[in-house]
Amino acid sequence: VLTLKGKIAKAGEKIIASNGKKADFSSALESCEKTGGTLATPMNKEENRAILGIVEQYNSYAYLGIKESETSGQFEYMNGTPLNYTNWHQYEPNGKGTEKCVEMYTNGNWNDRKCNLYRLTICEF
């Protein structure tokens, strides 16, 4: 159990976990889906805190399961529904069509970002 300390968390009904590997957005999403989950997607403050705990453990930014919608500057969950909770960093999102993915900073705030960067993979189940 000790080897998983900080690498797995529970938030409500969700289990949030990371293997510590970094990948671009599509590879991170694929690896989560292969294990029966999806990219960690905070739906409230508690879930955001649980994901942040893992981000802090690895001291690394992580992609979230959120993407830019067809409307530039608008973001949605992977299934296409609008966000009902956000934790954007001040003046974010600001990529307007060029930054289609969302990362979590090491302080828990969100930033829109290009999808080809290597970020920590955190999945939810």
Mean per-residue pLDDT over the chain, rounded? 94
> 8-124: which CATH architecture?
Roll (3.10)
Q: Which residues of 71-87 are buried (b: 16+ CB within 10 A; e: fewer)?
A: eeeebebeeeeebeeeb
**CA 31/CA 39 separation, integer angstroms:** 9
- How do the domains of the chain map onto residue ranges? 8-124
Residue 1 pLDDT level (bands cut at 50, 70, 90) = very low
Q: Note the pLDDT of residue 61.
A: 98
